[in-house]
Structures are given as C-alpha cells and as structure tokens.
Structure 1
C-alpha cells in the first residue's frame, strides 16, 4: 500500500472530541439574576427540543471547535429544523443562560450564524432568525443540518440535482487538462478505496471517495466549479452514498471510478463524462435509504 493510503487509513480512524475544559467557561450569573428574569429566559426556550438542551450532543460541524462550534451547531440545527422560527428574537443573555456558555462564545456563535444567513443583527432591533429565503443554502453546515432535519428529503433531492449538473461537466473538462499531479492523486484514491473495500473499512472508503470527487472538480481547471467542491463533499457526507458502497462492496462502483481515471489519462472527455453519469446513477439508488443522524 502507498504511503498516502496508509496515512489516510490511519487518520480516518482517529477521533476528535472538540470538548472544552472548565477553564473556558465565563458563565453568566444566572443564579444571581432576579427570579422574574430567570423564568422569562426559561419560558422563551420551552419550544426547543429537550435533546438540544445542552451543548455538544451531536453533529460533525462541532467537532474540534470547542464550545463555540458546539453552540453554532445547536443553534443552527434549531433554526433549520424550525424550532426557532423566522423572526424569532435571539437574546444573547438568554442563550448564555440556556446553554451555560460565556458572552464571548454567544457573540462569536451568532456572528457565524449571521455569516451563514441564518440570523440578522440590527441596532435597536437585536438579533432575529431570518427566513429560509435568506439562508446560504450552499453552506456545508446548513446542507448537513437540512439533511438530518425535517427538510431532509428536499435537501437530498436538491443535492442530487446539483451533483448531476456539476460532476459530469467537471469530468469532461478534467479530461482535457492533463493535470498529471491530480490524476496521480485520483489513482491513489481508487487504490485506497479498493483496499478499504477489501478490509470493510467504511470510514476510509467514504473519505477516499469524497476526496476523489473533490479532486476531480479541482482537475477541471474551472475556478467557479472548484468553488462548488465543498457542496459535493457535503453531499457525499450526508447522502450515505460512499458509506453504502463500502457497506455493500461493489466492484462495479470501483470500476467506474477507475474508468474515470483512465478516461482522464487518455483525454477521453466523453468517456469520463459517461462514466461519471453511471456512477451518479449508482449513488442515487443507494441514497434511497436515508441514514440516521450521526452520533459523535
């Protein structure tokens, strides 16, 4: 096995906890607040899922980011799921009390959510949840939150439509660029996937598959397409496609990846595009079974 394959398989098995130590907490003095204020803060969150009552329960968006990432994850999930509806006011003090985090953590988390289009902050109005039409639906975190929420079916269909548009075109363009460095890395990914399939290593297989598709878009030599590679990676992570391929070893799927690589090496644009379309049909069939949200 190549050094790259060994490194990737080793890395795939590592885990990030992302949990912060007690020293990071600069908590609100909730216990010292007047009883009326404490009651109001509690009532305002009564509609949220009980499961979301504490930061850091689940979600890949929070891994390795400590309290800040965990709060972004929780609030983002609550907004996307509809627990915090459009125009809902988000009072920093209430959030800090509810999730037992510092003012700094709340402030930075709301800034991240604002950048994603989920909330808006205005003078004399405060921070409020924005309607779906304002969300950055191409943001990888929002893609994942939608994929594991009430909008999961719509999200998966929309992602499939995007992939069908982006990836065959990328394969066609990549065949005309002759990027030997990227083509070698694509060969390495096929090697890793083949070895992982043989070992039943679903994690490594999924990561190699996601890397393969991201590299292919990069090889197209189109900067606007390359900007969309994060969407494809997010789609693979939430779709269950690569995991299903590894869970049910398929020589046909692996062969299609290899056919794409061969077509790129020979400059066969039509062959690369055709193989990619066949591969995406296989992913579509696998995605009919919707995976449960991943626990971390």
Structure 2
C-alpha cells in the first residue's frame, strides 16, 4: 500500500455549513382576509412564517435563495403528510403565508411538479400527488423522507435495493481483469486492517466506502454505478451505513478480503456470494440481519 493512498484516506474533509444566504423578500402586496371562506385548503399550522428561518437545506435546493427555501418548505410538508394527497395548493395562499412573490411561488411549484410531488392541470389547479407518483430517487425527496415519518420505510427500501445492486456488481466485476482497480481494492482492505488494529473507525469507514465504490466501478455498468451512488448517498442521509460495515470488525474484514480473492480468481459466483454475506453481517459480534424479503 502506498503512503499516498493512506494519506488520502486519513485526510479530513471540509465541512459544508449549509447556511442559507440572506435576501430581500419580494412580498405579496396584500394580506389574507380574515374569515375568508375556502373549500379544502391546506393547513399551514406550524409552518415557518419566514423562509429565512429554514435552517436545514438539501443539496438540491442549496444556494437558490427564496425559491429553494420555498421548495424545501413545501416539499417537507408534502412528504411528511402535512399536505395530503389530492390537496389543493392555491398559489395566492402560499404567497401570503410565506410572504413571497408570485414568481417565487410559481417557480417553486414547477420544481415540485418535476419531482412528481404535485400536478397542475387547467380548471383543476395544483394538487398534491400520491406517493406512487413521486420520484423517490430524487435527492431532495430522499432527504425529506429521511427526516419524516417515512424514514424507516425508506431505509428498508434502500437497503433492499442495495442488497440487489452490490452482489450483482461483484459478479460482473469478476469478469473484468482491471489489475489497477483490483490492486486498489486490495489496498483498501489493507487500510481497513491497519485502521481496525489502531482503533481508527473514521479511516476504516472511508476505506470501506472507497472499496464499494471501486467495486461497482469495476463492474463496468455505468447505469449500475449511477444507481449505486444514489443509493449510497441516500443511505447516509437516512442515517443508515452506506458501507459494508457499520463498525469495524473481524468478520467484515474477512468478507472484504474474500471478495478481493474471488475477483482475482475470476470467480463470479464466489464474489457475489461473499458480497451477500458481507451485507448481511450485523455489526454486533455473532449477529446477522435478515436478507431482504422475497416478493
């Protein structure tokens, strides 16, 4: 293992503050009339009165000012169920409630429509769509679900998806003789072993993440690689481990080394089986997690 490889794994990553930039509000020039009669409007109870107070921002809406913050606020309300399916979203009410311009509301609803969260039709207006219509692999929706009541379902679904992707990637990777990547995989296992011996959990997890990224790359399927990246990022957002092991352990190291050996030998079935074993190993000694349900 090269000194450079170890240095890369132990180098600290810069933190992203995620702070929203300030901006002037382009407000509606009127206020909501008290006692106005409406049929089935959304309930804005508990929503932020000023978008500037929204602190946590997703990667998809970061850096977009009021527009991004309104997308964030409405998206969270829809995903959490505060705005249920088929509920009407009246632009004028949204503008009044959040004190933003018609343009901001219009553009925000367009973004939500592109994500499958709402639909806009002539003579019907804009309404919230059912979960079955949502783009569940959209980064914003992933994060909104991660902090809402659907968190457990999302983590289960993501783990099941990963349990399908990575064994397949291991099987495909065994058919590619990329010695450079196979050497890097071996380096990652060696780094993990050193980190485990030294009690360095951070370096261990970074090498583990790099191992899985390299393996999917070695599979030679770019669509699979793209999907794996989405799932891995989503697992991190959801609070689930995005690597083979939640914490360092001997069994984790053994399975990683077995995968490398199978790849070097061109043993596709062995590599796939070793990956399945790795993904079902529980971080606690002697424990396992069940494989995803058969449908």
TM-score class normalised by the smaller sequence: 0.7 to 0.9
Give matches, 1:130-279, under 5 Å. 130-187=129-186, 189-190=188-189, 193=192, 198=198, 200-202=200-202, 206=205, 208-237=207-236, 238-242=238-242, 245=245, 248-279=247-278
Partner-residue secondary structure (3-state), 1:114: helix
Task: Say if 1:268 and 1:35 are closer, same or farther in 2 by CA, change over 3 A.
Answer: closer
Q: Give the aligned partner of residue 15 of structure 2.
A: 15
Q: Give the aligned partner of residue 293 of structure 1.
A: none
Q: Give the aligned partner of residue 63 of structure 2.
A: 65
Stretch of structure 1 that moved more, 271-280 or 54-63 = 54-63
Task: Say if 1:83 and 1:53 are closer, same or farther in 2 by CA, change over 3 A.
Answer: farther
RMSD of aligned Cα (Å): 3.8
Task: Say if 1:190 and 1:65 are closer, same or farther in 2 by CA, change over 3 A.
Answer: farther
What is the alpha-carbon distance in structure 2 between the residues aligned to residue 233 and residue 128 of structure 1?
A: 31
Match of 2:33 among 33, 36, 40: 36
Give matches, 1:94-105, under 5 Å. 94-101=93-100, 103-105=102-104
Normalised to the residue count of structure 2, the TM-score between the two structures is 0.74
Check whether the contact 2:42–2:87 (CA below 8 A) recurs between aligned residues.
Answer: no
Cα deviation per residue 1:226-256 (whole Å; 9 max; x = unaligned)? 342134313531252258946x432322332
Partner-residue secondary structure (3-state), 1:127: strand
Cα deviation per residue 1:204-236 (whole Å; 9 max; x = unaligned)? 655554443333223212244234213431353
Structure 1 gap segments, 5+ residues each: 289-296
What is the alpha-carbon distance in structure 2 between the residues aligned to residue 107 and residue 172 of structure 1?
A: 47
Offset at residue 195 of structure 1 (A): 6.0
Q: Give the aligned partner of residue 56 of structure 1.
A: 54
Q: Give the aligned partner of residue 294 of structure 1.
A: none
Give matches, 1:276-295, under 5 Å. 276-282=275-281
The structure with the larger Rg is 2
Check whether the contact 1:175–1:272 (CA below 8 A) recurs between aligned residues.
Answer: yes
Check whether the contact 1:240–1:286 (CA below 8 A) recurs between aligned residues.
Answer: no
What is the alpha-carbon distance in structure 2 between the residues aligned to residue 217 and residue 74 of structure 1?
A: 35
Check whether the contact 2:18–2:56 (CA below 8 A) recurs between aligned residues.
Answer: no
What is the alpha-carbon distance in structure 2 between the residues aligned to residue 231 and residue 252 of structure 1?
A: 27
Offset at residue 176 of structure 1 (A): 0.7
What is the alpha-carbon distance in structure 2 between the residues aligned to residue 8 and residue 92 of structure 1?
A: 49
Q: Give the aligned partner of residue 74 of structure 1.
A: 73
Stretch of structure 1 that moved more, 228-237 or 50-59 = 50-59
Structure 2 gap segments, 5+ residues each: 291-295
Task: Say if 1:104 and 1:235 are closer, same or farther in 2 by CA, change over 3 A.
Answer: same
Check whether the contact 2:113–2:119 (CA below 8 A) recurs between aligned residues.
Answer: yes
Task: Say if 1:196 and 1:287 are closer, same or farther in 2 by CA, change over 3 A.
Answer: farther
Offset at residue 127 of structure 1 (A): 2.5
